[in-house]
Amino acid sequence: MSDAVFADTNIYVYAAVANSGPKHCEASRVLADVLSSRRIISSTQVLGEFYSAMSKNKCPHGEIIRLLDEIKFNTEMKVVDEQTVEHGLNLIAKYGYHYWDSLLLATALDYNCTVFYSEDMRDDQVIEGMTIRNIFREAG
Instruction: Provide the number of structural domains found in the chain.
Output: 1
- The pLDDT of 18-23, averaged and rounded, is 86
Does this model's pTM top 0.85? My answer is yes
- Residue 118 in any domain: the answer is yes
- Residue 55 in any domain: the answer is yes
- Residue 140 in any domain: the answer is no
CATH code: domain of residue 17: 3.40.50.1010
Residue 140 has pLDDT above 70, yes or no: no
More confident residue, 140 or 20: 20
Distance of CA 46 to the CA centre of its chain: 7
Give the domain range for residue 86.
4-133
- Residue 19 in any domain: the answer is yes
- Residue 138 in any domain: the answer is no
Please, is 11 exposed, middle or buried when counting C-beta atoms within 10 Å of its C-beta (0-12, 13-18, 19+)? buried
- The pLDDT of 18-40, averaged and rounded, is 86
The pLDDT value given to residue 103? 97
- Residue 32 in any domain: the answer is yes
| Short-list 72, 81, 71, CA closest to 15 | 71
Cα dist. 75→6, 94, 97, 124 in Å?
9, 28, 24, 23
Mean pLDDT of the chain: 92
Residues listed for the chain: 140
The pLDDT value given to residue 76? 93
